[in-house]
Amino acid sequence: MPHPSATPFGTWSSPVTSELVASAAINLADVLLDGGNVYWVEGRPQEAGRHVLIRHNEDGARLEVTPQPLSARTRVHEYGGAAALVADGIGYFSNFQDQRLYRIEGDGPPVPLTPPAAPGQPNAALRYADGQIDNGVVLCPLHLNVFSLDTGCSTTFDVPLTTYRVSVEADNALVVYTPASN
């Protein structure tokens, strides 16, 4: 056995490297509550950085919601934004590979909700994050997009978007006019 020797602070060699420590660490993010179930997104370095939406049921069972190879991660802000949300047992997430928004219910397959990127332009995909659910509609800020203030239409992508007329009423109340109320 080699004899220890005195060395200046921080100059000794160690079999424990920062890469070894980081490769074993699971990152937890975006804690979500839905009824008695708790969801979170788990970052897994051992799966090439895949992010998995996990559900912890009221009965204590722990289930992976997003099947392989899908990854609940978004490129919004490049380091992410909230990539998943849940309501009434249904999960919604942005998949890292194609940046499309998906819906997954129970043991069913993930169903894409948004269009794919233009052929030959995978980096032109729309990016979704920080979603909210309101009255049965998933609302996500549409990032990397420029809108005309005159028309409300995208000048960046040729994707049909639903826009709504809004106004500010007395006491700074924001009124959103839906197609039925216009």
- Short-list 123, 128, 134, 124, CA closest to 83: 128
- Short-list 114, 120, 61, 111, CA closest to 90: 111
The reported pLDDT for the residue numbered 133 is 77
The reported pLDDT for the residue numbered 143 is 56
Could you say which DSSP state residue 15 is in? S
Residue 175 C-beta-side C-alpha neighbours within 13 Å: 9
pLDDT tens by residue, the chain, 182 residues: 677 778 888 787 888 887 777 777 788 888 999 999 999 999 998 898 899 999 999 999 999 999 999 999 988 766 667 899 998 899 999 999 988 888 899 889 998 887 787 777 666 667 778 887 776 667 776 555 554 545 555 566 665 555 566 677 777 666 666 655 44
Angstrom distance (rounded) from CA 152 to CA 182: 15
